[in-house]
Structure 1
Amino acid sequence: MIEAAADITEDAFLGGQLLLRQKRTGHRAGHDAILLAAATQARAGDRVVDLGAGIGTAGLALARRVAGIRLSLIEIDPELAQLARANAATNAIPAEAIVLDVTADAQAFAEHGLVPDSVDAVLMNPPFNDPARHRGSPDQMRHTAHVASEETLHAWVHAARRILRSNGALTLIWRADGIADVMAALSRGFGSLAILPVHGEAGKPAIRVLVRAIKGGRAPTRLLPGLMLNDESVVPKKQVRDILEGRAALPLAEP
């Protein structure tokens, strides 16, 4: 059951094109989810799965940009899944919200119609903070959304690989200093990687990486020019404003 209205906020994304209700406390939707959506390639008719969807931010933002996708929002927390379902309805976006652990086995996925080799595109923003270096939040749901165990990334990539069809694409966002972990997790079954570093400020190291990987792909890995979120004056760059307001996509979303 969704909490009382006082515990829920309604926030505008994509320049007001997407209105999302979310809990006032715990994990809150932000730029990472919007960047992930802007990096995901999809076409009308594609079956798309958002793993660990939360309130549906990334998947619904993608559906707002690419009309006609068949969207499934996978979330372990029933309350967040209910919010995702309500958010899809509020924004008149066809989507199903499924309560399911991303690390569940193939049978659990199949019970929801997600059989092996059946999905065109997967996007995901897994928990990526290292528990050895990150002080977890006392809020359990916020902790679950942010802090990864050693096997988290491998388990999520495995789930994506299982449901993706041959030549289907996985798009993910991860912390930049964990790029080696991403490469290791994608080394089995994926290729044709395209990597986009994301920098918080000009002249500073990247803080995130956006990665697109193709199931069964064989093309060489491509490292794209970095995306700078802010200029030297710490003002959001026009390209970033256009992406966050839903007027543009990232190069990873291009065919």
Structure 2
Amino acid sequence: MTQPTGGQTEDKLMGGRVVLRQPADGFRAAIDPVLLAASVPATVRDSVLDIGTGTGAAALCLARRVPGIRVTGLELQRDLVRIAGENAALNELEATVAFVFGDILNPPPRLAPSGFDHVIANPPYLEAGTATLPENEARRAAVGEGAADLKAWVRFALSMVRPKGTVTFIHRADRIDGLLTELHGRAGEIVVFPLWPAIGKPAKRVLVRARRDIATPTRLAPGLILHAADGKFTAEAEAVLRDGWGLVL
């Protein structure tokens, strides 16, 4: 990480394969978007929508990992849309990654329903009215639900993906019941992939992937152990976070 310049820092993801400028204050991307990007079964010429893209971390990691795909990032905060666009240019990915301003409750017309092969999202993880939100406005908008609750996020994702396409969320493990409830009857082949902080510790995050208009039963995957006993990332986590490997859900 470099020192802030103009209120921003310059960070590196995927072992330096992605350079990410982001506000020094406010919400900052860490490993969640890298793990989210690694979970998408995208192939060449697929189209992907990243909902709540922020400064573009997941979108850029996915585009770097799978050359030849097209990624669109949707973001509600205009200043983050601008930074995300600058990040696309900084990584020379502006030809395949585009960022647009918009609200999932009133999406821009250019986003056609059923228009994407895959949809990914890292929604705000604090349910409205259940926690004290940060004072910083940008961080508050990123971590706390506003007018769009988890139900709205799931239904928008399903509306934007093509039939049999995938939707993938990374979220808090204690909100998995809400995710599964909203997916029930609308998607199948659901995979719950826990992200274990270390052996013997409960998962705090989960990846949940589903396919629209599929009836295959839900499956619980072994998941990924992130840290070894010494606190360092496990070799498996390093392969994803540093080397750009995909996750097999």
TM-score, normalization by structure 1: 0.91
Offset, 1:246: 3.0
Q: Work out the CA distance in 1 between the residues paired with 2:182 and 2:146.
A: 14
Q: Work out the CA distance in 1 between the residues paired with 2:163 and 2:70.
A: 18
1:127, 1:146 within 8 Å by CA — same for their partners in 2?
Answer: yes
AA aligned opposite 1:136:
L
**What do the CA deviations read for 1:174-199 (whole angstroms, capped 9, x no partner)?**
10011111101111411110110111
Match for residue 159 of structure 1?
Answer: 156
Match for residue 11 of structure 1?
Answer: 11
Offset, 1:150: 8.7
Q: 1:179 aligns with which of 173, 176, 180?
A: 176
**What do the CA deviations read for 1:23-53 (whole angstroms, capped 9, x no partner)?**
0000001111111011111011111100000
Question: Is residue 241 from structure 1 mapped to residue 248 from structure 2 by the alignment?
Answer: no
Offset, 1:201: 1.9
SS at match of 1:5: coil
AA aligned opposite 1:230:
H
Q: Work out the CA distance in 2 between the residues paired with 1:23 and 1:171.
A: 26
**Unaligned regions of 5+ residues in structure 2, if any?**
none
Match for residue 96 of structure 1?
Answer: 98
1:65, 1:246 within 8 Å by CA — same for their partners in 2?
Answer: no
**RMSD between superposed Cα atoms in Å:** 1.5
Q: Work out the CA distance in 2 between the residues paired with 1:146 and 1:26.
A: 10
Q: Tell me which protein shows more helix as a share of its residues.
A: 1
Match for residue 24 of structure 1?
Answer: 24
Q: Work out the CA distance in 2 between the residues paired with 1:131 and 1:155.
A: 13
Offset, 1:248: 1.4
**What do the CA deviations read for 1:135-175 (whole angstroms, capped 9, x no partner)?**
21001110110012596111011111111110010011010
CA 1:149–1:184: 2 relative to 1, 3 Å: farther
Percent identity, aligned pairs only?
36
Matched positions, count: 244
TM-score, normalization by structure 2: 0.93
**Unaligned regions of 5+ residues in structure 1, if any?**
none
Comparing 148-157 and 194-203, the one that deviates more: 148-157
1:36, 1:210 within 8 Å by CA — same for their partners in 2?
Answer: yes
Q: Work out the CA distance in 2 between the residues paired with 1:219 and 1:197.
A: 20
Q: Work out the CA distance in 1 between the residues paired with 2:137 and 2:185.
A: 32
CA 1:208–1:150: 2 relative to 1, 3 Å: farther
